Structure 1
Amino acid sequence: MSEFIIALHVLVFLAHDMVSKSSEELSKNVCTNPVRIRKVMSKCKKHGLVETKAGINGGYMISKPGNEITLKDIYDAIDVSLVESKWRSGDIKAECLIASGMGDYIDMLFSYFNEELALLLDNITLDMVEQKLKSIRDNKV
């Protein structure tokens, strides 16, 4: 999940001014380290969301305008579940119907949630996220 958040943050930031940013610049804005930025951005690059540029003014540049990139594009590039649990209740070897089946049920339920979320994410663009951020900022003032 954190990789999705990093990718979303970076891509909205890159789409905002459409200029190349180094992993160090991006890491300062995201408040994480440049190694994590590079790891996440390599996935985004493989899926055509960013391009890289070498040299003094090098770094990452968004490959398309923010209105052409959806959160589903990011979800597909990062390939992580947004809804998941690292813990399972019950015991699959238990005789109890509830204890033996709940873990599998929750896995199926969370899989369904992720499928439905992917459909919703396909309707949200980076531009829409930026507009929402502006609205949040304006409401704080």
Structure 2
Amino acid sequence: MNGVFCVAVHALIFLDKRNCMLSSEELAANICTNPARVRRVMSKLKKAGLVTTKTGNEGGYHLLRKAGEITLKEIADALEVRFVEPAWHSGGTDLPCMVASGMAEVMDGLFDDLDQRCRDRMAQLRLSDLETQLEHAAARKEMTHGL
């Protein structure tokens, strides 16, 4: 998985929590990345119908649906993210050894299966589930720091 998915989830949850139009600069400051990266990610989310945009001085991004209605799989699909993929293939298809010539195909099958399992799990999770986790984490911090 790459950071694009993390940027998207962070931005969408922040938009939901703030419940207002936010610029790419405001989102980038909260995500700790640059506005150009945010704009690239958000353009894909807009195309998927997850956010709307407004141009101009008062412009920015706004969440179109409630966090409880958006699955993490929808976000991944909008971004065309693969959760599990090889960064490198061993062996070579032109080699005479069965292991060397077939390992890449076998590993690709394994990675495809694992990616699908991640997608199945992401279909069960909603943005609101992560918001709940954030709230619990904040409460734990508050309890720890308040003692």
- After TM superposition, the score normalised by the length of structure 1 is 0.94
Question: In structure 2, what is the equivalent of residue 83 of structure 1?
Answer: 84
Matched residue SS, 2:53: strand
Which residues of structure 1 form unaligned runs of 5+? none
C-alpha separation in 2, matches of 1:101 and 1:23? 46
Question: In structure 1, what is the equivalent of residue 137 of structure 2?
Answer: 136
RMSD: 1.2
Q: Report percent identity of matched pairs.
A: 42
C-alpha separation in 2, matches of 1:105 and 1:137? 43
C-alpha separation in 1, matches of 2:66 and 2:57? 24
Question: In structure 2, what is the equivalent of residue 122 of structure 1?
Answer: 123
Question: In structure 2, what is the equivalent of residue 113 of structure 1?
Answer: 114
Instruction: Please report how far the alpha carbon of residue 93 of structure 1 lies from its aligned counterpart in structure 2 after TM superposition.
Output: 1.6
Question: In structure 2, what is the equivalent of residue 42 of structure 1?
Answer: 43
- What letter matches 1:12 in structure 2? I
Number of residue pairs matched by the alignment: 141
C-alpha separation in 2, matches of 1:90 and 1:138? 50
Q: Is contact 1:15–1:126 with CA below 8 Å preserved after alignment? A: no
1:96-111 equivalence runs, <5 A:
96-111=97-112
Question: In structure 2, what is the equivalent of residue 17 of structure 1?
Answer: 18
For structure 1, which segment, 101-110 or 40-49, has the greater mean C-alpha deviation from structure 2 after superposition? 101-110
* Deviations 1:79-114 (CA, angstroms, capped at 9, x unpaired): 021111221111222222111111111111111111
1:1-12 equivalence runs, <5 A:
1-12=2-13
C-alpha separation in 2, matches of 1:15 and 1:70? 14
Q: Structure 1 runs of 4+ off > 4 angstroms?
A: none
Question: In structure 1, what is the equivalent of residue 53 of structure 2?
Answer: 52
- What letter matches 1:122 in structure 2? A
Instruction: Please report how far the alpha carbon of residue 73 of structure 1 lies from its aligned counterpart in structure 2 after TM superposition.
Output: 0.8
Report the structure number with the largest CA radius of gyration.
2
